[in-house]
Structure 1
Amino acid sequence: MASFRIRQYRDQDYEAVRSLFTHGLLEHVPAAYRFLLRSARVQLVLLVLFATVRAATGSWLLGLAAVALVMAATWPMVRFVCTAYVQNALSTDLCDIEGSYMQAPDSCFWVAEAGGAVVGTVAVAPPQNPADRGAALELLRMSVSKDYRGRGVSKALCRQVLRFAQARGYSAVVLSTSMVQVAAQRLYESHGFRKVGFTGLSPLGDLLCIQIFRYRCDLSGSTADPPR
């Protein structure tokens, strides 16, 4: 038997939801940084930088120091991009969760509760992309506490969104997730989502090779349970 339950958002969940979302997103900063350093484009830039400094100064040490300096300067930039995304969410829809999701048409916000604490969240709303409106809903704000991962919380939250959209006659659910959220990508793909494209997060995010993958699940072929 599940050690958690899924229920609709209540006003008293406000601070817990915002805190869970913030910590869940910022924990991906190290992964985004490692992804950046592994990218072929960045490695080429660092190699050219090293060779240029080495040729100009005749010093291997100064070449390595230049590379280390650039790598050190990149870390706060990656963190800034992720923090800016979090702050934008906290100041927009997560600033008024009730108004954004519980009072808006074809929208809802759920939490996973265990032991009286909020351990997971997910939301659904009409998609931001005009091309998807009317045919699809968008899964948003999926987050699960570290202590409750691997216990089926994410799967239950994902299915809740798919059932909600299916019950309202929508033919698809769309979502966006970052390239470093590999576990989330596997979860969505196991529920019938397929990658349909990618976008940039911001101009600085593009410079840092941070991409956002777009996914779509056609409900006629999804693994969601039928509406109840």
Structure 2
Amino acid sequence: MESVCREFPGLRSSMAPYRIRQYEDSDYEVVRTMFGHGIKEHAPAGYIHMLKCLQTQLLFLGLFLAVLAASGSLLVSLLALLLTLIGGWFCIRSLWTDYVHQSLCSDLLDIRRTYLEAADSCLWVAEVEGAVVGAVLLREHRGRGIGRALCRTVVRFTQECGYSAVVLSTSMVQYSALQHGLPEGLGEVPIPPRTLGRGCLH
């Protein structure tokens, strides 16, 4: 099936020239590497987000009091709490790592078949001075409007395909970036983040 992706070279930043173009096979490794690094770098923020949750704080408090009551030792209680915090970090990091591994072995294993040959699917990259710096996610070159340009590219593509709404999803640690990246004038309806932060464009 011939790809129906569009290239939008006119989407450029006044601060630095960039181009939004369709994914090419030569981008395979850089897109996969960028995805892996981009997802994993949010593990610390995800862990801090978990620690800020009231349920987590109550759980740690209950653990501390239970160990204190059973052992009668403040040192043992603090040690148990510390070990739990360390274990929680490894669990969170493992979840992000497993997600990256699963994605690299599924939809990102054959990018062309998944995103370019499938109906109503596509993948674009942002290119600055000949280097790919963004795709679905951005690792560097932030603050130059590239994310907004990528959003506009997706919205324009889906409008041409006849869809009336687009749901943009991100992790809870990137919700503010999603809000700032939503194109203006498209009837955006922000949805408060739970597991994912989402914005619906009509």
Bin for the TM-score computed over the shorter chain? 0.7 to 0.9
* More relative contact order, 1 or 2 (CA 8 Å, 6+ apart): 2
- Aligned-residue sequence identity (percent) comes to 46
Q: Distance in 1 between matches of 2:137 and 2:58?
A: 35
- Opposite residue 143 of structure 1, the aligned amino acid is L
Q: 1:4 to 1:188 in 2, by over 3 A?
A: closer
Of the three residues 153, 169, 174, the one matched with 1:176 is 169
Q: Which stretches in structure 2 are left out of the alignment for 5+ residues?
A: 1-13
**Counterpart contact for 1:196–1:216, Cα < 8 Å:** no
Indicate yes or no: 2:94 matched with 1:80.
yes
Of the three residues 139, 150, 153, the one matched with 1:145 is 139
Q: Distance in 2 between matches of 1:54 and 1:92?
A: 46
**Counterpart contact for 2:46–2:173, Cα < 8 Å:** yes
- Opposite residue 148 of structure 2, the aligned amino acid is K
Of the three residues 4, 17, 33, the one matched with 1:19 is 33
1:4-83 matches, within 5 Å, as 4-83=18-97
The RMSD of aligned alpha carbons is 1.7
Give the C-alpha shift of residue 196 in structure 1: 7.3
Give the C-alpha shift of residue 62 in structure 1: 1.0
Q: Which residue of 2 aligns with 1:194?
A: 190
Give the C-alpha shift of residue 193 in structure 1: 4.3
- Opposite residue 143 of structure 2, the aligned amino acid is G
Q: Distance in 2 between matches of 1:90 and 1:145?
A: 17
- Opposite residue 66 of structure 2, the aligned amino acid is T
Moved over 6 A (4+): none
Give the C-alpha shift of residue 116 in structure 1: 1.4
Q: Which residue of 1 aligns with 2:201?
A: 217
- Opposite residue 107 of structure 2, the aligned amino acid is D
Note the alpha carbon deviations across 1:93-134, whole angstroms, 9 max, x for none.
11111111111121111100112111010xxxxxxxxxxxxx
Q: Distance in 1 between matches of 2:133 and 2:144?
A: 11
- Opposite residue 72 of structure 1, the aligned amino acid is I
Indicate yes or no: 2:131 matched with 1:117.
yes
Give the C-alpha shift of residue 89 in structure 1: 1.2
- Opposite residue 14 of structure 1, the aligned amino acid is Y
Instruction: Provide the aligned length of Structure 1 versus Structure 2.
Output: 185
Q: Which stretches in structure 1 are left out of the alignment for 5+ residues?
A: 122-141, 199-210, 219-228
TM-score normalized by structure 2? 0.85
**Counterpart contact for 2:23–2:123, Cα < 8 Å:** yes
TM-score normalized by structure 1? 0.76
Q: Distance in 2 between matches of 1:189 and 1:55?
A: 51
Give the C-alpha shift of residue 55 in structure 1: 1.4
